[in-house]
């Protein structure tokens, strides 16, 4: 057996996930790769690398990605059982399926979460969702009602665990106080170009609760790889200085290693549709950044020294 990404529990009573997670946000963006056969090849590549956790959401691809994943998994009986599936619900926008909607909105009411989860089960072709996340805080739904939906889904075994995405510290604490079983993660935006979790308390809260966050857009939605902003230019230069020290590591490998080094132990979500990028990114789990190098990348991204 070759290189394998490690697995770890994301909470004391939570699921065990791979250290890197395969994300499907952009899986339908490129027509040349948006076929079940192509996705099937990537899923097999994930398994060969030890990536066993698959992240999706009801809204991805304007409500088309879950069905696409389900169609792909059906092509190979037993493949679904080799993955932990994470999906999210709570964002509703005007689209071809719902021309009656006029305004994008959030809805984390009990009835809506149950309906969305049941739809996800059907589209994904599975009898359970390993981790179900409330995609965004809904300012018009009480914590009691959101918890009612999550508690019902967990009691019925339709979802095995519950979590949230993009919640602040206070929202996590409030929802947790109403749940039968505590949240097992907060999926947050975290990258060298988006360090809010370090400063806003969400990463600290994960440590306090003993849960590991999931990190979306670890390459800042591609901005980190371009040279169209001063921060990415500085990070490019610093990563080039550090590359030889870490076995010729690429910028994206060092960017993932930077996130992985944080003591909250985030699980970054890989969003590529390219096999070579997937394989390259996997190697970032082998990079142990030295303390000064982690801060050197922080300094490059921030454009200033530490306070």
pLDDT digit string (tens) for 108-167? 999 999 999 999 999 999 999 999 999 999 999 999 999 999 999 999 999 999 999 999
Average pLDDT, the chain: 96
pLDDT average, residue stretch 96-105: 92
User: 254-290: per-residue pLDDT in tens?
Assistant: 999 999 999 999 999 999 999 999 999 999 999 999 9
Give the pLDDT band (50/70/90) at residue 97: confident
What's the mean pLDDT in 35-52?
96
Give which of 202, 179, 180, 182 is closest to 190, Cα–Cα.
202
Q: Are 252 and 306 in contact (CB under 8 A)?
A: no
Question: Among residues 50, 58, 113, 47, which one has the least CA distance to residue 80?
Answer: 47
Contact present, 55 and 23 (Cβ < 8 Å): yes
pLDDT (mean) for 239-249: 98
**Which among 22, 60, 63, 246 is annotated as catalytic?**
60
- What is the pLDDT at residue 39? 96
1 has pLDDT over 70: no
Query: What is the model's pLDDT at position 135?
Result: 98
pLDDT at 3: 75
pLDDT of 2 > 70? The answer is: no
pLDDT given at position 32: 87
Q: Which residues of 31-66 are buried (b: 16+ CB within 10 A; e: fewer)?
A: eebbeeebbbebbebbbebbbbbbbbbbbbbebbbb
User: What kind and span of H or E run contains 235?
Assistant: helix 230-242
Angle between helices 251-260 and 275-282 (to 10 degrees): 50
Residues 113, 89: contact at Cβ < 8 Å? yes
Mean pLDDT of the region 74-90: 97
Evaluate if residue 36 carries a pLDDT over 80: yes
60 as an active site residue: the answer is: yes
State the average pLDDT over residues 166-181: 98
């Amino acid at each position: 057996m070759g290189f394998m990404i490690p697995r770890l529990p994301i909470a004391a009573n939570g699921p065990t996930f791979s250290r890197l997670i395969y994300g499907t946000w952009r899986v339908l963006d490129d027509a040349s790769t948006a076929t079940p056969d192509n996705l099937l090849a990537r899923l097999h590549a994930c398994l060969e690398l030890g990536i066993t956790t698959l992240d999706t959401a009801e809204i991805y691809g304007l409500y088309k990605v879950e069905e696409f994943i389900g169609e792909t998994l059906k092509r190979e009986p037993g493949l679904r059982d080799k993955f932990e599936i994470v999906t999210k619900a709570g964002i509703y926008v005007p689209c071809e399926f719902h021309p009656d909607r006029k305004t994008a909105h959030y809805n984390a009411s009990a009835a809506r979460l149950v309906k969305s989860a049941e739809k996800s089960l059907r589209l994904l072709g599975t009898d359970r969702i390993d981790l179900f996340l409330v995609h965004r805080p809904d300012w018009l739904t009480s914590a009691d009602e959101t918890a009612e939906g999550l508690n019902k889904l967990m009691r019925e075994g339709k979802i095995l665990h519950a979590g949230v995405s993009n919640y602040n510290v206070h929202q996590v604490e409030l929802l947790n106080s109403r749940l039968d079983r505590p949240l097992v993660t907060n999926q947050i935006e975290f990258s060298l170009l988006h360090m809010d979790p370090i400063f806003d308390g969400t990463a600290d809260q994960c440590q306090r609760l003993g849960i590991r966050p999931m990190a979306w857009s670890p390459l800042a939605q591609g901005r980190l790889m371009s040279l169209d902003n001063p921060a990415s230019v500085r990070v490019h230069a610093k990563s080039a200085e550090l590359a030889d020290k870490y076995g010729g590591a690429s910028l994206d490998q060092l960017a993932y290693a930077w996130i992985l080094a944080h003591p909250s132990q985030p699980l970054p979500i890989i969003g590529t549709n390219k096999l070579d990028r997937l394989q390259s990114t996997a190697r970032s789990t082998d990079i142990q950044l030295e303390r000064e190098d982690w801060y050197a990348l922080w300094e490059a991204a921030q454009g200033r020294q530490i306070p």
